[in-house]
Structure 1
Amino acid sequence: MPIKWYQNWFSSPYYHILYHQRNDEEAELFIDSLCALLKPAHGCKMLDIACGRGRHSVYLSRKGYDVTGIDLSYSNIKFAKQFENEKLHFYQHDMRHLLFINYFDITLNMFTSFGYFESERDHVNALKSFRKSLKSDGVLVLDYFNTEKIIKNLARQEVKHVEGIDFHLSKKVNEGKIIKTISFEHKDKDYHFKEEVKAFRLADFEKMFRLSGFTVDKVFGDYHLNSYDPVKSDRLIFICRKADV
């Protein structure tokens, strides 16, 4: 099978250079807001799906929770494993495939770590695997960008200068996807990557949650957990419950 864009890009060191501004303070703010809302018990079992290098997982572990992080990227998991302890573990794993059954109290899918696949079936199957990993009263937190605002304010072309590299970014909407191409030169070599993320809106998620066995409990629009506004909000954050099916 051909290598998918996310297998190349998320494993590249340049991904982490470009997005270095995704700092720990922002991640910790979101986690603190979620914990204040959900009030998980000490030692609560959590699954961080598409955990990247583990910044959310590490902070949750420090707060006293039993955390498992999974990510498709070998290099991300290799990096994250330096933080492992008896209550924090990382595995290379595809989110569409089941890893645990009826095990976790809370599963988290953060910072638009979804919407990568071609078909609705793949996305629903991923959500079904999230559901199966949860205990009967388990909670799913899914954090996505607000497609409505993204499309309305789409910057077609921009250049970001980071660590001596000029990243040329081009964005467009095509066939239900928000597509970003990333081009740059480094050490006399040209690089080209892309991101293709489904332009899922609120109604799309509500349908997929229904098909996968979740009920939507709450919807928020930012990391302070303010109400979702389709025009103004930066994020589309769902708190879902495992439904009886």
Structure 2
Amino acid sequence: MQVLKIVLEGVTTSFRYPHFMLGTQPSFPLPPPATIYGHVCSALGEWIEPDGLTFAYHFTAAGEGQDLEHIHVLSASSGKLPGGERKALEGNINPFRRHILLFPQLTLYLNRPDWIDAFRRPRYPVILGRSQDLACYTRIEVVELKQTAQAYFEHTLLPYAMATQVPAGVVALMPRWIDYRDRRPVFARYLLLQQRVTTDQMLRFGDQTPLFWSDPTAPSMGGLPLGLWFHTFVGANDEALAMA
């Protein structure tokens, strides 16, 4: 299978938990699918229909830290300004600490190799996470993936259903996709895998031996290629997308 492979590097990024509003802003350790969707749309310059689009990625950061920021919380006002004019809004400054990831690197795989020119000349500034997290593409190419029964997975998302099969990872509820026409997010559970796990360490049920997509151009570990699990943005959860 031919896919578009994009390597992105930056200085900082942060993937905020959508349900934290005040006091602190923790970051997911891996980018949510909704972040990937927004990034792809930014490169293409338009909101694209997510149907049929699949992605896989490998994400790392060299470190992490905290930044002190503040937000203005506004509300309608019934008071008046010193000149006697009615105030429309009033508010307070609320400081909070934001968890940031340092020197992130994202290797993104898309099942749209025909979009290579769009990423070579992105329509909008390249960012990952917040609008101030500027980044750049250091490698853009079309690669031919291989199928293999043995591979290693790390620093990536796996389907929630694999939580019973993989001896590592943390389950998290993440934004899967945001429909910007009505601004309604869709959430799904994923297995966030940061440490390395080989297919030999995964539990298997039944006699079937699944095949996984792998990237022959990525570094191999212990003779095993890097495994990729492709996800969708809409429709039914795709626990079997990466299997033959």
Pick 1 or 2: higher relative contact order, CA cutoff 8 A, min separation 6.
Answer: 2
Q: TM-score, normalised by structure 2?
A: 0.22
Question: Greater CA radius of gyration, 1 or 2?
Answer: 2
TM-score normalised by structure 1 residue count: 0.22
